[in-house]
Structure 1
Amino acid sequence: MKFISLCFLISLLVLLFNTQPLQGAEPEPVVDKQGNPLQRGEGYYVFPLWADNGGITLSPTRNRTCPLDIIRNPAALGSSVYFTAPGLDYIPTQTDLTIEIPILGSPCKEPKIWKLSKEGSGFWFVSTGGAAGNLVSKFKIERLEGEHAYEIYSFKFCPSVPGTLCAPVGTFEDSDGTKVMAVGDGIDEPYYVRFQKVSTFGQDLSSV
């Protein structure tokens, strides 16, 4: 009986020490309007859902010059936006990302990495001056649910850190009419977008 009990105990210990935790499903790639996964190191225009213009860019707001904030400009194409997911060559959904709009020749010298900038109680603008890996610079891309929403996404500030803020990125109209990307009180609706690779913009993609 003692021998059987000892064997059972040894078998149980071997099982415990050799059992690996279940791995979660691999993140779903974010895709552009042509259905191609977004890639690290490539620039993308971020268009509103309903147009091929009016993209995201940088601008001074809040009666100051620097740092620059992330805005929507309905009258312009927008700027190239770059995404980085640590350890991955593609850009996945629901994963902490570093997002950057590296405009050259800007009078503002701070990094053009996105970060949350406190504006008031329970309200933040999406601004620049962030750093890769910093908590306030961790944004996610979330796909709109639904059978026909495969290429429709929104941004979310929701770092993979327990107890931190988790809220959609929407738009706030400033006193001069500028549409600034923001998070917090009064920003209940996410800003839905599609992505267009800069190097393919303007090409005939009907056969893709």
Structure 2
Amino acid sequence: MKSIQLLCFLSLLVLLFNTKPLQGAEPEAVVDKQGNPLQPGEGYYVFPLWADNGGITLSPTRNRTCPLDVIRNPAALGSPVYFYAPGLDYIPTQTDLTIEIPILGSPCKEPKIWKLSKEGAGFWFVSTGGAAGNLVNKFKIERLEGEHAYEIYSFKFCPSVPGVLCAPVGTFEDSDGTKVMAVGDGIDEPYYVRFQKVSTFAQDLSSV
């Protein structure tokens, strides 16, 4: 009887030492128009859902030169956008990200990292001048739900901190007609986008 109990005890020890704790599911990868996961440190054009133009870029707005704000330019390709997710080798949905548009030759010396810039009560522009790790720099990418919405996404400001603002990023038309990315009152609809890797976009053009 004692030998049976000892055998059961040893079997239990083996089971305990060889059983790994259940890991939480990894966040879903954001994919580009070709279905490939977005990679940290790679440049991507961020196009509106309905076109391969009118991308996101930086521009002076609000009657000031610096810092630059994030805008959508319907008449231009846009600028390469870079995404970073600490500790991950891909860009996931629903995860705090650092987003950057490193435009060269800009007169503005602030970092070109996205941040919220308060404009008034309940309203913020998506501007630049952020620093990695700060609360106002933490944006997320959210996939549109639906069977045919695999490559359709939107941005939202929603840091993984309780009690902090959580709202979609949409567009606001400034007094001069500039479409500025913004969060807050009057921004009820997210701005839906698709991602195109800069290198593959250049390849597509060369094959035409």
SS of the equivalent of 1:203 reads helix
Q: 1:206 to 1:79 in 2, by over 3 A?
A: closer
TM-aligned CA distance change 1:160 to 1:16, over 3 Å: farther
- Residues 107 and 207 (structure 1), Cα distance of their counterparts in 2 relative to 1, 3 Å cut: closer
Distance 1:133 1:2, change over 3 A: farther
Q: Percent identity?
A: 92
C-alpha separation between the residues in 2 aligned to 1:106 and 1:52? 25
Compute the displacement of 1:18 (Å).
12
The SS at the match of 1:195 is: strand
User: Per the alignment, do residues 122 and 16 of structure 1 end up closer, same or farther by CA in structure 2, a change over 3 Å counting?
Assistant: farther
Unaligned runs of 5+ in 1: none
Q: Deviations over 1:131-187 (max 9, x none)?
A: 110000000000000000000000000000011000000000000000000000000
1:64-110 C-alpha deviation (Å, 9 max, x unpaired): 00000000000000000000000011100000000000001000000
Alpha-carbon spacing, 1:136–1:3, altered in 2? closer, same or farther (3 Å):
farther
- The 3 A distance-change label for structure 1 pair 113 and 26 is same
Partners of 2:13 and 2:69 in 1: how far apart?
A: 56
Evaluate the alpha carbon distance shift between residue 106 and residue 150 of structure 1 in structure 2; reply closer, same or farther with a 3 A threshold.
same
Distance 1:14 1:125 in 2: 57
Q: What's the Cα RMSD here?
A: 3.2
Going from structure 1 to structure 2, the CA distance change for 1:2 and 1:200 (only over 3 Å counts) comes to: closer
Q: Give per-residue Cα distances to partners, 1:2-52, cap 9 Å, x unaligned.
A: 999999999999999999975431000000000000001100000000000
Aligned to 1:115: 115
- Residues of 1 paired with 2:7 and 2:177: CA distance? 75
CA distance in 2, matches of 1:180, 1:63: 13
1: CA distance, partners of 2:142 / 2:34: 18
SS in 1 for 2:205: coil
Q: Which whole-Å CA distance do the structure 2 matches of 1:74 and 1:197 have between them?
A: 19
Distance 1:124 1:88 in 2: 29
Per the normalisation by structure 2, the TM-score is 0.88
Please identify runs of 4+ aligned residues in structure 1 that moved more than 2 A.
1-24, 202-208
Q: Report the TM-score, using the length of structure 1 for normalisation.
A: 0.88
Shift of 1:203: 2.6
Count of residues paired in the alignment: 208
Structure 1 residues 204 and 59: CA distance shift in structure 2, 3 A: closer
Q: Given the superposition, is the C-alpha separation of residues 62 and 3 from structure 1 closer, same or farther in structure 2, using an over 3 Å criterion?
A: farther
Change (3 A) 1:21 1:55: same
Structure 2 SS opposite 1:78:
coil
Moved more, 154-163 or 23-32: 23-32
The whole-number CA distance in structure 1 between the counterparts of 2:205 and 2:147 is 23
